[in-house]
Amino acid sequence: MILNKIKQGLALGLLVFFGSCKKENTTPPLADFLAYNVACVAPCEVYFFDNSERAVAWSWNFGDGQTSTLENDTNTYQFAGNYKVELLVTAENGTTDSKIKWITVLPADTMFVSDIQLLQYKTLTTSWTEWDLDETSGEDFYIDIKQNGNLIYSGDTVAFSNKSTADLPLSFILNQVFADDQGTYEILLYDKDTLSANDFLGSVSFSPLDYNNSSNPNPPTQITLESPSDSLIFQLNVSWLN
């Protein structure tokens, strides 16, 4: 009887000992989230959904002074701007992780350009010395876009290969927004070369405010931009985000 009790006591002690040696889960969470209705026009709602792993608690900072501790939430942005959104998540073991994403809220009357059509460009001279071309079968076109002198869109890949004036118009699919409060934009046309520097063929500049302002209540859906010195003409197919 006494021997049995001793055995039972030893078994219980071993169980407690090995149970206490069980390894604690120290794996931290992995923070992530999704944002929907970004690039909306102020005032507007943006929808945030947690996409984290091993999270049991959430702390949102929406970048405009608003916060939340819900797993998923919606925030209304009253003003246009770029907002730094941060999600801090906590795992069951108390460890944390955070994820930061930037979202853009647009001002009213923002220009949305679906595509840019090339209608005219300067043709080559017969001596082929006007541009430093590496081929004689036609131009390989692409465009860049600058905002106030800073590159915001680079199409440094061949959009159209071996083209000539007989192929015009050529349509560059863009789907780009141009905010009316952010200065001047420039569209630059290039011929991509393989053996030397790419050839700059000319540029045109514009500001959305030139076409959508208090004196023009019905802004156009097609805008023609010309550079006579470069013999360059672009047409923008646009819509306006209100």
Please give the residue that has the higher pLDDT: either 17 or 91.
91
Q: State yes or no: pLDDT of 132 exceeds 70.
A: no
Q: If you average pLDDT over residues 193-209, what whole number do you get?
A: 81
Fold equal for 33-105 and 110-241:
yes
Q: If you average pLDDT over residues 188-209, what whole number do you get?
A: 83
Tell me what the pLDDT averaged over the chain comes to: 84
Q: Scan for tokens 């071993």, then name that residue.
A: 14
Closest to 238 in 3D by CA, of 154, 164, 177, 147: 177
pLDDT of residue 241: 80
Q: State yes or no: pLDDT of 131 exceeds 70.
A: no
Share of the chain above pLDDT 90, in %: 48
CATH of range 110-241; options 2.60.40.1110, 3.30.300.30, 3.30.70.20, 2.40.110.10: 2.60.40.1110
Q: If you average pLDDT over residues 124-131, what whole number do you get?
A: 47
Residue 40's Cβ-side half-sphere holds a number of Cα atoms within 13 Å equal to: 15
Cα angle value 48/102/63 (rounded, 5°): 70
Give the model's confidence band at 32: pLDDT under 50 very low, under 70 low, under 90 confident, else very high: very high
Q: State yes or no: pLDDT of 175 exceeds 50.
A: yes
Residues 52-71 pLDDT 10s: 999 999 999 999 999 999 99
Where do the structural domains in the chain lie, given as residue ranges? Answer: 33-105, 110-241
Q: What is 33-105's CATH topology?
A: Immunoglobulin-like (2.60.40)
Give the model's confidence band at 1: pLDDT under 50 very low, under 70 low, under 90 confident, else very high: low
Q: State yes or no: pLDDT of 14 exceeds 60.
A: no
pLDDT of residue 179: 79
pLDDT of residue 122: 81
pLDDT of residue 24: 74
Residues 68-114 pLDDT 10s: 999 999 999 999 889 999 999 999 999 999 999 999 898 877 888 99
Contacts of 112 by beta carbon, 8 Å cutoff, 6+ apart: 175, 176, 177, 178, 238, 239, 240, 241
